[in-house]
């Protein structure tokens, strides 16, 4: 087979493209840029770790139901794990967000990374609301009433209702 024929093969082209994007010498590097030694980089990973616990404990709560998380000791425990991992998640995410903001991390072709973060941030707030609303206690009644009657979140306001 001639060199030009080899050059034209899709396998050759794909291999060259992959090697161009991810050169083997850059995969699993043994050194890192000096700026990565900053503590601020810990917060992205903390957010991710907290999110995993949030999802795991949230699934257990959803499977077992409100009776279980209100009345049983183990239910209280998993509920607390869920609440505190959510607190850590939001705290770490906001520190991470400000860290990336002050480093202007949307530069250098990272616009989509930043935009993914924006979407994640908004989605997290909406999801946290569903968690508050499904607690099945006075807190959840109060927070849903605030949203509906007082119009804390304008699209969900009910003009016909008056605050009591």
Binding test (CB under 6 A) with ligand HEM, winner from 84, 90, 114, 132: 114
DSSP structure class, residue 40: G
Binding test (CB under 6 A) with ligand HEM, winner from 59, 62, 118, 152: 118
Q: How far is CA 146 from CA 51, 83, 132, 152, 156, in A?
A: 27, 21, 12, 6, 10
Output the smallest distance, CB 44 to ligand HEM, in A.
2
Closer CB to ligand HEM, 1 or 126, in the complex: 126
Give Cβ neighbours of residue 150 (< 8 Å, ≥ 6 apart).
157, 163
Q: Which of residues 23-62 bind ligand HEM (CB under 6 A)?
A: 41, 43-45, 47-48, 51
> Can you tell me the distance from the alpha carbon of 42 to that of 157, in angstroms, rounded to the nearest whole number?
39
**Under rule CB under 6 A, residue 113 binds ligand HEM:** yes
Output the smallest distance, CB 84 to ligand HEM, in A.
17
Binding test (CB under 6 A) with ligand HEM, winner from 53, 110, 131, 144: 110
Tokens 């161009």 correspond to 20
Closer CB to ligand HEM, 18 or 123, in the complex: 123
DSSP string, 76-138: HHHHHHHHHHHHHHHHHHHHHHHHHHHTTTTTTT-HHHHHHHHHHHHHHHHHHHHHHHTT-SH
| Per-position x/- string for 69-108, each x denoting binding to ligand HEM as judged by CB under 6 A, each - no binding | ------------------------x--xx--x----xx--
Closest by CA position to 66, among listed 135, 114, 147, 7: 135
What residues line the site for ligand HEM (CB under 6 A)? 41, 43-45, 47-48, 51, 93, 96-97, 100, 105-106, 110, 113-114, 117-118, 120-121
């Amino acid at each position: 087979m001639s060199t030009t024929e080899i050059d034209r093969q899709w396998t050759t082209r794909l291999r060259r493209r992959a090697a161009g994007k991810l050169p083997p010498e850059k995969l699993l590097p043994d050194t890192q840029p000096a700026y990565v030694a900053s503590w601020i980089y810990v917060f992205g990973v903390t957010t991710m770790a907290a999110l995993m616990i949030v999802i795991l404990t949230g699934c257990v709560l959803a499977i077992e139901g409100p009776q279980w998380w209100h009345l049983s000791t183990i239910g209280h425990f998993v509920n607390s794990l869920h609440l505190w991992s959510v607190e850590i998640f939001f705290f770490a995410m906001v520190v991470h967000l400000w860290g990336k903001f002050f480093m202007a991390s949307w530069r250098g072709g990272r616009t989509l990374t930043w935009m993914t973060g924006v979407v994640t941030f908004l989605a997290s707030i909406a999801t946290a609301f569903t968690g508050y609303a499904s607690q099945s206690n006075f807190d959840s009644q109060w927070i849903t009433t605030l949203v509906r009657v007082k119009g804390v979140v304008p699209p969900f306001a009910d003009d016909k209702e008056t605050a009591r």
